[in-house]
């Protein structure tokens, strides 16, 4: 799944070399060893459909998700992100997405994230600098 060329291009901010299994395994082990990482497997009809996680970067909580192409366009990502944010207590919660990834932008806005900034950075998945959008899910108002 994480070697799917179309998915890599869509996500853009991916591993330098998606074929480097040792690097992938090391990354997974680092994630599993971090106490503040909340991660889960995404399923559809009982089968594997992706992953979703939240973690801390420079003091901010961020979410990430990777949905297999066979599950695109059917609400799987939206359901996964809703599930994740329902279990992640920290707000604000941030998400980053390549500006060309309209589907992921739609998922984030559908579940309540709003755009807070844009920047340009190198994206290994496309091999060049591209625009990235930063989204935030603000704290809920008490009694809302």
Percent of the chain with pLDDT over 90: 42
SS3 readout for the chain: CCCCHHHHHHHCCCCCCCCCHHHHHHHHHHHHHCCCCEEEEEEECCEEEEEEEEEEECCEEEEEEEECHHHCCCCHHHHHHHHHHHHCCCCCEEEEEECCCHHHHHHHHHCCCEEEEEEEEEECCCCEEEEEEEEEECCCCCCC
24 Cα distance to chain centroid: 16
Range in 6-20, 23-37, 105-119, 130-144 the model is least confident about: 6-20
- Condensed to tens digits (0 to 9), the pLDDT of residues 61-107 reads 999 898 888 888 999 999 999 999 999 999 999 999 989 899 999 99
Give the pLDDT confidence score for residue 37 in this predicted structure: 86
Q: Is the pTM of this model over 0.75?
A: yes
Specify the fold of 5-137.
Aminopeptidase (3.40.630)
- Domain residue spans of the chain: 5-137
Q: What is the pLDDT of residue 122?
A: 73
Mean pLDDT of the chain: 82
């Amino acid at each position: 799944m994480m070697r799917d060329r179309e998915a890599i291009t869509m996500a853009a901010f991916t591993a330098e070399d998606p074929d480097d299994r040792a690097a992938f395994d090391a990354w997974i082990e680092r994630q599993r060893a971090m106490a503040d990482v909340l991660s889960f497997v995404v399923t559809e009809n009982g089968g594997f459909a992706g992953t979703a996680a939240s973690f801390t970067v420079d003091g901010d909580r961020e979410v990430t998700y990777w949905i297999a192409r066979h599950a695109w366009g059917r609400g799987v990502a939206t359901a996964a992100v809703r599930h994740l944010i329902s279990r992640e207590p920290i707000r604000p919660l941030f998400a980053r997405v390549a500006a060309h990834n309209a589907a992921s932008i739609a998922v984030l806005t559908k579940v309540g994230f709003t755009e807070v900034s844009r920047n340009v950075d190198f994206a290994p998945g496309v091999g060049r600098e591209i625009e990235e959008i930063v989204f935030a899910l603000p704290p809920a108002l008490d009694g809302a």
